[in-house]
Amino acid sequence: MEMRNKAVGSDVFSLGDRSVRRLGFGAMHLSGPGVFGPPQDPAAAIRLLREAVAAGVNHIDTSDYYGPHVTNRLIYEALHPYPADLVIVTKIGARRAWDGGVLPATSPEELVQAVHDNLRHLSVDVLDVVNLRNMFNVAEDAAKFIDTGLTVLADLQRQGLVRHVGLSNVTPDQIAQGRRICDIVCVQNKYNLGYRRDDPLIDSLAADRIAYVPFFPLGGLNGPESSSAELAAERYGITLAQVTLAWLLRRAPNVLLIPGTSSVEHLRENLDVATLTLPDDAFVGFDHFTRAQP
């Protein structure tokens, strides 16, 4: 195993007109249990954010409904004024209930308010990237929401409040529908070693230079594919999570990772992945188990 002497490596990809390193940071777990309420130790969360950026992270994923309002306020306190190369990606389309549940917030008025909430709590004049999060399982409801939501975001782009637009929790047909309304710079969907329904989508997005950002990237290690990952981790003296993240970076050049943690130790382990160069035989057996998934 070769180690490159750089904190998070030099591999980059574009989010619209912004260039980010492919290993970023997801801020969701900086809020309280169940992504609800404040963290037990806000000072530790602030230190973690500062350490991530000091290590070279320039892509942070957040949302004002994390907490709610918790992670954005922590990002502001930790990092404002923001480094010139830092890209903060946020997400709208949901809100938190009084008991911590996640509810749709999909009307035009709610979407506009969510953008302004993100602007205010991050203390910025324009949001780098806003992901519209599909909250509907029924295709017809999702189609209506995407039309409405992207029309709202396209108008906010014209007003200069949103720089770029992405989609989350969507199908290829819904992405095609959205691209008729405005440019889409990224797609954020569930994807990991054991959940690979988006394999064809990742490749088609790569051809169009659109970023793919997997959520739940460390899931799926409870089936036959886990044995290959465990063997690779043991062989190269790294953790199972590091093997998984390394495979995701290897999967396609447009894959951007945003693993989240509230632990400095886990942050450092995750960032170390960008300095690893594993040989081809480290991943033997991975595709055998996972590519066949429908």
CATH of the domain at 217: 3.20.20.100
pLDDT of residue 10: 59
Residue 195 appears among annotated catalytic residues: no
Active-site position among 65, 66, 76, 82? 66
Distance CA 25, CA 250 (A): 18
Question: Nearest CA to 267 among 71, 24, 5, 82?
Answer: 24
pLDDT of residue 286: 76
CB within 8 Å of 154: residues ≥ 6 apart: 165, 181, 182
pLDDT of residue 7: 47
**Helices 42-54 and 264-272, packing angle to 10 deg:** 20
Residue type, 88: I
pLDDT of residue 294: 39
Helix segments in 159-207, DSSP class H? 172-179, 199-207
Q: How many domains is the chain built from?
A: 1
Which residue range is the domain that position 231 belongs to?
A: 2-290
pTM of the model: 0.94
Contact 131, 188 (CB under 8 A): yes
pLDDT of residue 229: 86
pLDDT of residue 102: 94
Distance CA 198, CA 255 (A): 12
Distance CA 10, CA 201 (A): 25
Distance CA 167, CA 165 (A): 7
Question: Which tokens in the block code for residue 239?
Answer: 């953790």
Mean pLDDT, consecutive 10-residue stretches, the chain (294 aa), reads: 43 96 97 95 98 97 97 98 98 94 96 98 98 96 97 98 98 97 98 91 97 91 75 92 93 96 96 90 70 42
